[in-house]
Structure 1
Amino acid sequence: MYAFAQRGDTTVVDEPLYAHYLTHQPTEAHHPGREAVLAAQENDGAKVVDTLREHDYGTENVVFKQMTHHLVNLEPDFLYPMTNVLLIRDPHEILASFGKVIERGVTAEDVGLPQQGELFNRLTVTGSLSAVVDAGRLLDDPAGVIERLCRRLDIDYDPAMLQWEAGPKPYDGVWAEHWYAGVHQSTGFEPRPRKVIELSPALAAVADQCSPIYQRLLKHAL
């Protein structure tokens, strides 16, 4: 999201369906700042989808940062006319980050890997998936992966996408104070940490459950 926000021809929208998800959340994981999110966003997912389709954002391109688990109780057909990119990440890394904010009661559905696997199937069948981007490969070669992604999206590569100013952004969601501490310290794509990831037994079990889905999608990544 921060990379695309550096483009003059692009508007970014941060997780527009988060409040919808919280009103239909099928799991018990407690999300910090829940009430603030519900107050800041439209809670009705159908109305949000209508806005995504119809609103004039004033730029040639609009990037909607979505989370696959936020699509709960929504038909994904609104995505089919759009240009879709799936961002994937090793589930052990996801759970290491997720567990810093939500420690107990975390399921595979909370981090969205099963939903992402199903969405990959649907987008592939409908011919509406443009690319799969792996977070690890992106950090290993930011310029190369972003340039290849731009070619897939049929837009010009802009080196400005590789850097941004540190700190909160006006397009951050109200949940940023809970989830974006690390990215607020960054000024670009930083090298991937080379350290052993230690998870609690419960989170490790979730990561292991998600790993086959991640490995399947990784075969299609740029």
Structure 2
Amino acid sequence: MKIAMWSGPRNLSTAMMYAFGNRADFAAWDEPFYAAYLKRTGIDHPMRDEIIAQHDADSVSVSAQIAGPVPDGKEHWYMKHMGIHMEDTPLDWAEDCVNVHLIRHPARVIASYAAKRENPSFWDIGFQQQLEIFERFPGPVIDSADIRRDPEGMLRKLCIAIGLEFDPAMLSWQAGPRDFDGVWAAHWYGSVHKSTGFAGAEGALPELQDEAAKLVAQAMPFYAKLAESKLA
């Protein structure tokens, strides 16, 4: 099984990758198209030059690798994908994947993203791109708030939805980086590297002001549409 887990940034996506990557039967790949996205768009992200230098920046090559065998002799392959990386990139390879969609309330995404990269735009947070991908490649939708509230219950439901046996190894992992981390982990993954499992239930939504509040309002219809299909 090849799982394409689609999300936007700051969506619990790294913790989910660690959960699946902690299974003995899974290989994991961290944002395969990130370097190609940065090279193609010229956008300025933290560690841009290092990412392009140390990862495959050719989307055709990346697509061919995904279409090939699962690495490391594993039975399954978990791939963490960002919808924002896929503009102008062929998606035919995703037809052979189990497509899953991870969502998070826009207020939480924007507050978390802004702490790492100032003044995110609507395009940066990826809600429109994710809905477009969901409409082309529908599949289970899972909300990060539900996972944090009940990790085992929601991961069991997800496994049932995709025809995968649940493994308790998904619920905890050793602190620190992983071999499959992208080089960008040094900037983005500090909290996950300190973790040994999913954090507890989230508190009240952050109260955002001015441009951030406008961004939440712009993103909400896309989040709400995706949430209509979420596992509960």
1:88 and 2:108 aligned:
no
2:70–2:76 contact (8 Å) kept in structure 1: no
Could you tell me which residue of structure 2 aligns to residue 63 of structure 1?
78
Aligned pair partner of 1:7 in 23, 38, 43: 23
Provide the TM-score with structure 1 as the length reference.
Answer: 0.91
Is residue 145–residue 201 contact of structure 2 (8 Å, CA) maintained in 1? Answer: yes
Which residue, out of 198, 219, 224, partners 1:210?
219
Do residues 74 (structure 1) and 89 (structure 2) align?
yes
Give the length in aligned residue pairs: 214
Partners of 2:31 and 2:80 within 8 A in 1: yes
Over 3 Å counting, the alpha-carbon distance change for 1:140 and 1:85 in structure 2 is same
Deviations 1:3-30 (A, max 9, x none): 001111100100010001112238x5x3
| Aligned mate of 1:117, from 127, 131, 142 | 131
Unaligned runs of at least 5 residues, structure 2: 1-16
Say if 2:20 and 2:170, in contact at 8 Å, map to a contact too: yes
Q: Deviations over 1:161-204 (max 9, x none)?
A: 00011111111110001111111111111113314414352222
1:90 aligned partner, one-letter code: H
For 2:62, the equivalent position in structure 1 comes to: 48
Quick one: which amino acid aligns to residue 172 of structure 1? D
The code of the aligned residue for 2:99 comes to N
Percentage of matched positions with identical amino acids: 37
CA distance in 2, matches of 1:201, 1:48: 39
What is the correspondence of 1:1-222 to structure 2 with a 5 Å cutoff? 1-25=17-41, 30-57=44-71, 58-104=73-119, 106-124=120-138, 129=139, 131-222=140-231
Matches of 1:47 and 1:200 in 2, distance apart? 42
For residue 74 of structure 1, give the secondary structure of its aligned residue in structure 2: coil
Partner SS state of residue 80, structure 1: helix
Letter in 1 for 2:33: L
Q: Measure the CA separation in 1 of the matches of 2:169 and 2:85.
A: 30
Distance across 2 between alignment mates of 1:134 and 1:119: 16
User: Which runs of no fewer than 5 residues in structure 1 stay unpaired?
Assistant: none
| Contact 1:163–1:188 under 8 Å retained in 2 | yes
Q: Is the Cα–Cα contact under 8 Å of residues 96 and 197 in structure 1 kept in the other structure?
A: yes
Per-residue deviation, 1:55? 4.0
